[in-house]
Amino acid sequence: MSGLCQEVPQLAKAMILLIDVFDKYAKKDGDADSLSKGELSDLLKAELGEFTSASDKENVDEFFNQLDADKNGTISFPEFMVFTATLTMLIQGLAMKKMK
Ligand SMILES: [Ca+2]
Ligand SMILES: [Ca+2]
């Protein structure tokens, strides 16, 4: 999938990237359809880093509980997308505040 990235428009590229990131971490334990808490923790640390306070252990627990909307103990792709969209809106809101 990543090989396609050169000719696709920017937003489509971002979407493919989201799918790629989810897939990269979700498949670590053999179940590629969902993120376990450990996988989510790795993803947050590696892909968001200092951008959020998500890498702290307590925050990972809190993130996980909030993200796991259906409370089945794993994060599905739709649940991950809700998180990503929410976080993106939050960041956009902060950016707008700074510009004022
Ligand atoms: Ca998994
Ligand atoms: Ca879930």
Mean predicted lDDT score pLDDT of the chain = 88
- Report which secondary-structure segment, H or E, holds 75: strand 75-76
In this structure, what token pair is assigned to residue 18? Answer: 């989201």
State how far the Cα of 7 lies from the Cα of 73, in Å rounded to an integer: 38
pLDDT at residue 58, as a whole number: 82
Q: How many domains does the chain have?
A: 1
3-class DSSP state for residue 94?
A: helix
Q: How far is the CA of 46 from the centre of ligand 2 (A)?
A: 21
Protein residues near ligand 2, an ion, with CB under 5 A: 68, 70, 72
Distance 79 CA to ligand 2 centre (A): 7
Which pLDDT score is estimated for 87? 87
Please give the pLDDT value at position 7: 83
Q: pLDDT tens digit string along 31-72? A: 999 999 999 999 988 998 766 665 577 888 888 999 999 999
Q: Comparing C-alpha atoms, which of 69, 93, 92, 91 is closest to residue 81?
A: 69
Q: Return the sign of the alpha-carbon dihedral for residues 70, 12, 39, 64.
A: negative
Range of the domain at 10: 2-99
Taking the model in full, what pTM does it have?
0.82
Q: Which residue's structure tokens are 């396609």? A: 4
Specify the CATH number for the domain of residue 72: 1.10.238.10
